[in-house]
Amino acid sequence: MKKIIILILLLLPILGKAQASFQRQMQASNAMVRQQNQMFLQQQQQQRDMSRMMNNIQTTEDKLANEERRLKKFEKKAAERETELNTEKAALASLENTSENKSDVQKNIEKSKKRIAKSEEKVNESKKDIETSTAKIQNLQKKIEADKIKKEELAKKHEEEKRIKEEEKAQKEKEKQEKKNKA
């Protein structure tokens, strides 16, 4: 019985050291898992950021295409209105050159002048639409360029972070190997 107690007392420090060693290994393992989880979460966030940036660029490009179509429509409408205005002016000129019944001609001239005024308003409206659309197109183009620059910067930042983490990981592995070699 005394021998068993002595044996247990002798083994206690060895078991205590084994327990402490096991705890250190578990802590190191937990730290490594925690670090891997953190890296995984960072990668997911980076992927979400890149995806969001790509979607922003795509949406802006779609808006740009729509605005360019609108601009073409406005330009076509402006050309039609310009043609209509020129036709009205030509009709007015021919009415003014006519020397028939003065009262009827005078009424037609007044009607023609009113139509010309309306046509000029429509032409001016079309020009404003074109200016507005052109300004929107320029703003969208600037936004696309800015978003592309941001995307490139984000990609560079992610690559730099990845490179730094890999260097840190390699350094830790090297230190770990050196500790093993010393022990």
- The phi, psi pair for 67, rounded to 5°, reads -70, -35
Mean pLDDT over 123-142 rounds to: 94
The answer to which of 15-29, 82-96, 129-143 has the lowest mean pLDDT is 15-29
Look at 138 and 47; give whichever has higher pLDDT. 138
Task: Indicate the residue type of 1.
Answer: M
125: closest CA among 74, 88, 71, 86?
A: 74
The reported pLDDT for the residue numbered 130 is 93
What is the C-alpha to C-alpha distance for residues 119 and 89, in angstroms, rounded to an integer?
A: 10
- pLDDT tens figures, 133-146: 999 999 999 999 99
What is the C-alpha to C-alpha distance for residues 119 and 129, in angstroms, rounded to an integer?
A: 15
The reported pLDDT for the residue numbered 164 is 87
| pTM given for the model | 0.65
- pLDDT tens figures, 51-78: 999 999 999 999 999 999 999 999 999 9
What is the C-alpha to C-alpha distance for residues 47 and 53, in angstroms, rounded to an integer?
A: 10
**Given pLDDT bands bounded at 50, 70 and 90, which one contains residue 11?**
low
Q: What is the DSSP letter of 100?
A: S
The reported pLDDT for the residue numbered 86 is 92
CA dihedral 160, 161, 167, 169 (to 10 degrees): -160
Coil/strand/helix, residue 101 = coil
CA angle at residue 90 from 111 to 120, to 5 degrees? 60
The reported pLDDT for the residue numbered 3 is 74
Integer distance in angstroms from the first to the last C-alpha of the chain? 38
The reported pLDDT for the residue numbered 5 is 76
Tokens read off for 86:
């020129």
